[in-house]
Structure 1
Amino acid sequence: MLIPDIDAFEERAAIAQFDGGLSRREAEDLAAQSQGFVNADAYWQWLADYVVHRQPP
């Protein structure tokens, strides 16, 4: 898996939330899924693990 694109994640979530009428949680789940994650929790956990270990999990 490639390192997630944080800018694309934030942009997609913002668009889904404000233009799509989704809650922030739903919008972040959608943005995470667009990058191959199950949901936003999995996305943020991957990033946290990457920061701590300095290599993809």
Structure 2
Amino acid sequence: MSFPDIDAFEERAAIAEFDGGCTRKAAENLAAQAQGFRDAEAYWQWLADYVVNRRPP
């Protein structure tokens, strides 16, 4: 898996939420899935692990 693109995640989630009518949770799940993650929880966990370990999980 490549390094997550936080800007792309936020932009895609915002578009899905405001233009697509999704809930914030659904929009974040879609944005995470677009980057190859199972859902937003897995996306945020990957980033948290990266911050703690200072290397990709």
Same fold judged by TM-score > 0.5?
yes
In the alignment, does 2:30 pair up with 1:43? Answer: no
Aligned-residue Cα RMSD (Å) equals 0.3
Question: Any idea what SS the aligned residue of 2:38 has?
Answer: coil
Q: Which runs of 4+ in 1 moved over 6 A?
A: none
Which 5+ residue runs of structure 1 have no aligned equivalent? none
Output the TM-score relative to the length of structure 2. Answer: 0.98
Report the AA paired with residue 50 of structure 1.
Y
Segments of structure 2 that go 5 or more residues without pairing to the other structure are none
Give the fraction of aligned pairs with identical amino acids, expressed as a percent: 75
Q: CA deviation at 1:2?
A: 1.1
CA distance in 1, matches of 2:40, 2:18: 17
Q: Per-residue CA shift, 1:11-40, capped at 9, x if unaligned?
A: 000000000000000000000000000000
Aligned length: 57
Q: Secondary structure at the match of 1:21?
A: coil
Structure 1 residues 28-56: Cα deviation after superposition (integer angstroms, max 9, x where no partner): 00000000000000000000000000111
